[in-house]
C-alpha cells in the first residue's frame, strides 16, 4: 500500500469547516476524558428533547450481563426532530430531492410537505391498529414514501424493520416472522436500471406464510398489475387521501426502540440489530454534520438504499435531523449510461457525494470519459463506505471525480454501530488513500492480538475492538439478547468486537483489512457463509457445502463455494446453474455464487471442523502458502482441491 502518500487538508475547506485540525485534537481528547460532559453537550445541541435525561450514560460490557443506555429518562420524538422543529425556520426549504430511475423523472418535497405526508401516514397506520412498540415492515423501492414510512413509524412510536427490496420472498418472510410485524408497507413494483422488480408479488408470497400480518399497504409506483387480497391489502394513495394531517408525535423514552435492521453474521440466520431512539439520533445527526462537514443549504447525496443502515442514518435520519437537503436516487450508476451519477450531480448541484468502493471500481473500468463529460464543479466533499477501498480506486475517485479538489472521507462503521466510528473529518484530517484514518469523537478503538488476546500498543495489526460505548451503538439482537452478548462481547472480554481486522500505523491511522470472521462483503453487501451454505444444502444433490470469499476486482469479494455432491450424483454444469439459482431465490440476487468447485471431500480437522483458512487460500489461488496443515484428518483432500481449483 502506498502509505507514504498524504493529502493535506485543502486550505479553503479548513477555513470554513465545522472542525479544523486543532479542534479535532482538543475535542477528541475532551470526548474521551469527560464523556458524560461531552455527550450531554452534543445531545443538547443536536436534538430537541421534550424532557431532559436523568443520566447521560450507563453500561456494562460484560462478562455477565451486557447493557448500554444513553440519555436514560430523556423524552423525545425522532420525527419531531427531523420535521416539526424545522417548520418555522425552513418549512419551505427542500427536504428530499428524488431522482427517478428514468432521468426525466424527478420530484421534491419541502419540510412542510414531508411533515404533512408523515402525519397522514401516521394516522393511516394508527387506523390499522398500529400502536407504540408495534413492529412495521417496510419493503420498498427507493422512493420518498420509503422515508415517509420510516418517519411515520417513528412519529407514532412504532418500530420499523426495513427489508432491502432486493431480498427474496423467503428472506422477507423470515424477517417479518422474526420481529412479528403486523403491517407491511410495500409497492406494486420497483424500477431499477429500466427493469421492474415485482415487490407486491414477492410480498404476497412471503405473506402466505405470515398469518399475523393484517394489513399490506401498497404504493403505486409503476402501475404494474398486482394480485389483490381485499381483506388485507390497501392502496396507499387511497388511504392517504382520507387521512388527517394532524398527528401528534408520540413522546418516546430515549431507550425505546426506533428500528430493527437485519444483518448477516458468522453463524445462523441474520440477526435483528436493534437501535434505540435518543443516542442513535444524537449520533446520526452529529456524524452527518461533522464527517461530511455539512454546511447549511448544501445538497447532499448518499447513493445507498434505505434497506441498509447507510440509508437509515445517512439518507434519512442524520440529514433530516440537521435540516439538510437529502437526495434520494432510485436508479443505478450505469443506467442509462456510465455518466449517470455525475449527470445527477450536475442536475441537482450536489455538494457532498457519498458512495461505495464497488461502484467506484465499476465506473473506473468504464474510463474517464463518462466522468469528464460532466462538470461536477458543485462537488466539495466525497465519501465512501461499505468495504476497504484500494488506494488505486481512492486516487481515481479523488483525481478524476473530484478533480483533486475534494477531500475523500473513507468512513468505517457497521449496521451495529449506527454511524461512523473511524473516519476523517474534511477540515481536520490529512488523508492517506486506503485508510479510514482516525476515530470519531468519543470512540476509543483498540487492536487485539488475536492469538494472545492482549492489546497492541502503537503500530501493529489485530482484531478491531471498541473499548467503550458510543450513543449510536446497537442495544441488543431483537428477541435474543444472549446472541448479542455471544456475538460481540465473548471473544474479547470487556470489549465490543467488530468482526474486522485492522492495522494501525505509526501516526495512529487505522487501515481496515476486512472481516476476520465468516462474514463476506460482496459489493459492500454483507452475507454470512453459513446462510449461503444452508441454501446450497437444500438441494437434494448436495451432501455438503463450504463457502468462502475470494478477492474480486469489482465486488471486493466474490463468493466461492466448495460443494460435495451426494454419492452417485454426476456433478454437471447444469447442476452448477441450478445451485446458483437456488441461492439467489433463497436469499436474493445479491447472493450470486461466482464460482462453484466440486469437492470430493472438504479439508477437516480430526474433530470434523472444516478448515476454512485452507479453503480461502485455495480460492484466492495462494496455494504455495497454505500454512499449518498438520491437523488435517486427510491431507489428500487438499491436494485434490488444489489440482482442481477454479480460480487460476
Ligand atoms: C462491514 C459492515 C456501515 C455501512 C455499510 C456496511 C465493512 C464498512 C468500511 C470502510 C473498510 C468497511 C466492514 C464492516 N466496512 N465500511 N470504510 N472500510 N471496511 O454496513 O453491512 O453492517 O457491514 O463493512 O467489514 O464490518 P454492514
> Mean pLDDT, the chain, as a whole number?
96
Q: Which one of 413, 500, 549 would you pick to mutate in the ligand 1 pocket, going by the greatest count of ligand atoms within 8 A of its CB?
A: 413
Q: How confident is the model at residue 4 (pLDDT cuts 50, 70, 90)?
A: low
Predicted confidence at residue 9, as pLDDT, reads: 97
Instruction: Give the residue-averaged pLDDT of 152-169.
Output: 98
* pTM of the full structure: 0.96
Distance from Cα 325 to the centre of ligand 1, integer Å: 25
H/E stretch holding 561 = strand 556-565
Is the per-residue pLDDT at 1 higher than 70?
A: no
Give pLDDT tens digits for 404-414.
999 999 999 99
Predicted confidence at residue 50, as pLDDT, reads: 98
Predicted confidence at residue 333, as pLDDT, reads: 97
Q: How confident is the model at residue 527 (pLDDT cuts 50, 70, 90)?
A: very high
551 contact partners, CB below 8 Å, separation of at least 6: 557, 558, 620
- Cβ-in-10-Å burial (0-12, 13-18, 19+) of 268 comes to middle
Written as nine digits, the cell of 97 is 430531492
Distance from Cα 512 to the centre of ligand 1, integer Å: 9
Say which residue the cell 469528464 belongs to. 372
**Buried-state track 598-633, b at ≥16 Cβ within 10 A, e below 16:** bbeebbbeeeeebbbebbebbbbeebeebeeeeebe
What was the ipTM of the complex prediction? 0.99
Q: How confident is the model at residue 323 (pLDDT cuts 50, 70, 90)?
A: very high
Predicted confidence at residue 64, as pLDDT, reads: 87
Residues with beta carbon inside 6 Å of ligand 1? Answer: 263, 308-310, 385-388, 410-415, 436, 498-500, 512, 514-515, 521, 526
Distance from Cα 221 to the centre of ligand 1, integer Å: 31
Q: In ligand 1, which atom is closest to the CA atom of 525?
A: 21
Q: How confident is the model at residue 3 (pLDDT cuts 50, 70, 90)?
A: low
Measuring from atom 3 of ligand 1, which residue has the nearest CA? 414
Q: How confident is the model at residue 579 (pLDDT cuts 50, 70, 90)?
A: very high
Give pLDDT tens digits for 23-79.
999 999 999 999 999 999 999 999 999 999 999 999 999 988 999 999 999 999 999
What are residue 108's DSSP bridge partners? 97
Q: How confident is the model at residue 624 (pLDDT cuts 50, 70, 90)?
A: confident
Distance from Cα 379 to the centre of ligand 1, integer Å: 24
Measuring from atom 7 of ligand 1, which residue has the nearest CA? 387
Give pLDDT tens digits for 538-571.
999 999 999 999 999 999 999 999 999 999 999 9
Lowest-confidence range among 143-147, 402-406, 638-642? Answer: 638-642
Distance from Cα 135 to the centre of ligand 1, integer Å: 26
Give pLDDT tens digits for 90-139.
999 999 999 999 999 999 999 999 999 999 999 999 999 999 999 999 99
H/E stretch holding 341 = helix 340-348
Q: Which one of 305, 315, 488, 521 would you pick to mutate in the ligand 1 pocket, going by the greatest count of ligand atoms within 8 A of its CB?
A: 521
Distance from Cα 124 to the centre of ligand 1, integer Å: 36
Is the per-residue pLDDT at 2 higher than 70?
A: no
Instruction: Give the residue-averaged pLDDT of 300-324.
Output: 98
Written as nine digits, the cell of 191 is 424500477
Measuring from atom 10 of ligand 1, which residue has the nearest CA? 412
Predicted confidence at residue 419, as pLDDT, reads: 98
Predicted confidence at residue 632, as pLDDT, reads: 87
Q: How confident is the model at residue 646 (pLDDT cuts 50, 70, 90)?
A: confident
> Does 159 show up as a binding residue in the annotation?
no
Q: In ligand 1, which atom is closest to the CA atom of 416?
A: 22
Amino acid at each position: 500500500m502506498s502509505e507514504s502518500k498524504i493529502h493535506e487538508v485543502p486550505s479553503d475547506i479548513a477555513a470554513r469547516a465545522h472542525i479544523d485540525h486543532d479542534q479535532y485534537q482538543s475535542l477528541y481528547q475532551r470526548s474521551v476524558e469527560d464523556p458524560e460532559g461531552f455527550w450531554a453537550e452534543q445531545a443538547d445541541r443536536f436534538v430537541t428533547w421534550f424532557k431532559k435525561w436523568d443520566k447521560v450514560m450507563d453500561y456494562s460490557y460484560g462478562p455477565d450481563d451486557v447493557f448500554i443506555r444513553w440519555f436514560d429518562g430523556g423524552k423525545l420524538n425522532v420525527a419531531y426532530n427531523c420535521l416539526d422543529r424545522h417548520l418555522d425556520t425552513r418549512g419551505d426549504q427542500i427536504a428530499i430531492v428524488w431522482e427517478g430511475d428514468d432521468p426525466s423523472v424527478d420530484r421534491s418535497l419541502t419540510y412542510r410537505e414531508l411533515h404533512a405526508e408523515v402525519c397522514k401516514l401516521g394516522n393511516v397506520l394508527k387506523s390499522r391498529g398500529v400502536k407504540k412498540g408495534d413492529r412495521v415492515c417496510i419493503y420498498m423501492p427507493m422512493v420518498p414514501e420509503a422515508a415517509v414510512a420510516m418517519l411515520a413509524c417513528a412519529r407514532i412510536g412504532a418500530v420499523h424493520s426495513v427489508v432491502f427490496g432486493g431480498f427474496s420472498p423467503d428472506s422477507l418472510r423470515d424477517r417479518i416472522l422474526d420481529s412479528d410485524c403486523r403491517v407491511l408497507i410495500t409497492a406494486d413494483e420497483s424500477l431499477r436500471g429500466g427493469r421492474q422488480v415485482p415487490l407486491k408479488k414477492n410480498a404476497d408470497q412471503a405473506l402466505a406464510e405470515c398469518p399475523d400480518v393484517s394489513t399490506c399497504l401498497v404504493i403505486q409506483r409503476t402501475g404494474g398489475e398486482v394480485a389483490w387480497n381485499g381483506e388485507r391489502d390497501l392502496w396507499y394513495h387511497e388511504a392517504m387521501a382520507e387521512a388527517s394531517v394532524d398527528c401528534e408525535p408520540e413522546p418516546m423514552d430515549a431507550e425505546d426502540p426506533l428500528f430493527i435492521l437485519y444483518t448477516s453474521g458468522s453463524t445462523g440466520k441474520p440477526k435483528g440489530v436493534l437501535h434505540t431512539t435518543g443516542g442513535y439520533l444524537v449520533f446520526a445527526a452529529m456524524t452527518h454534520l461533522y464527517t461530511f462537514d455539512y454546511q447549511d443549504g448544501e445538497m447532499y447525496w448518499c447513493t445507498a438504499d434505505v434497506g441498509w443502515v447507510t440509508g437509515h442514518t445517512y439518507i434519512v435520519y442524520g440529514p433530516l435531523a440537521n435540516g439538510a437537503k437529502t437526495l434520494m436516487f432510485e436508479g443505478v450508476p450505469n443506467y442509462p449510461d456510465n455518466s449517470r451519477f455525475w449527470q445527477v450531480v450536475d442536475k441537482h448541484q450536489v455538494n457532498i457525494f457519498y458512495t461505495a468502493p464497488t461502484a467506484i471500481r465499476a465506473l473506473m473500468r468504464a474510463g474517464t470519459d463518462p466522468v469528464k463529460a460532466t462538470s461536477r464543479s458543485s462537488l466539495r466533499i466525497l465519501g465512501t463506505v461499505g468495504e476497504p477501498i484500494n488506494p488505486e480506486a481512492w486516487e481515481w475517485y479523488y483525481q478524476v471525480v473530484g478533480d483533486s479538489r475534494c477531500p475523500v472521507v473513507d468512513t468505517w462503521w457497521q449496521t451495529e454501530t449506527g454511524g461512523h466510528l473511524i473516519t476523517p473529518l474534511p477540515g481536520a484530517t490529512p488523508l492517506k488513500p486506503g485508510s479510514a484514518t482516525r476515530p470519531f469523537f468519543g470512540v476509543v478503538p483498540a487492536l487485539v492480538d488475536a492469538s494472545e488476546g492482549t492489546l497492541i500498543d502503537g503500530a501493529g495489526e489485530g482484531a478491531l475492538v471498541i473499548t467503550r460505548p458510543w450513543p449510536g451503538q446497537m442495544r441488543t439482537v431483537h428477541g435474543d439478547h444472549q446472541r448479542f452478548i455471544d456475538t460481540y462481547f465473548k471473544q474479547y472480554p470487556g470489549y465490543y468486537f467488530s468482526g474486522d481486522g485492522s492495522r494501525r500505523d505509526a501516526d495512529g491511522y487505522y487501515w481496515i483489512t476486512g472481516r476476520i470472521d465468516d462474514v463476506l462483503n460482496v459489493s459492500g453487501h454483507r452475507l454470512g457463509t453459513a446462510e449461503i451454505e444452508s441454501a446450497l444444502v437444500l438441494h437434494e444433490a448436495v451432501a455438503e457445502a463450504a463457502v468462502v470469499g475470494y478477492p474480486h476486482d469489482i465486488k471486493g469479494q466474490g463468493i466461492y463455494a466448495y460443494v460435495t455432491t451426494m454419492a452417485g450424483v454426476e456433478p454437471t454444469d447444469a447442476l452448477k446453474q441450478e445451485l446458483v439459482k437456488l441461492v439467489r431465490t433463497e436469499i436474493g440476487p445479491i447472493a450470486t455464487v461466482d464460482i462453484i468447485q466440486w469437492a470430493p471431500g472438504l479439508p477437516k480437522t480430526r474433530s470434523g471442523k472444516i478448515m476454512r483458512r485452507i479453503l480461502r487460500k485455495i480460492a484466492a489461488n495462494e496455494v504455495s502458502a497454505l500454512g499449518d496443515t498438520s491437523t488435517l484428518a486427510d491431507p489428500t483432500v487438499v491436494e485434490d482441491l488444489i489440482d482442481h481449483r477454479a480460480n487460476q
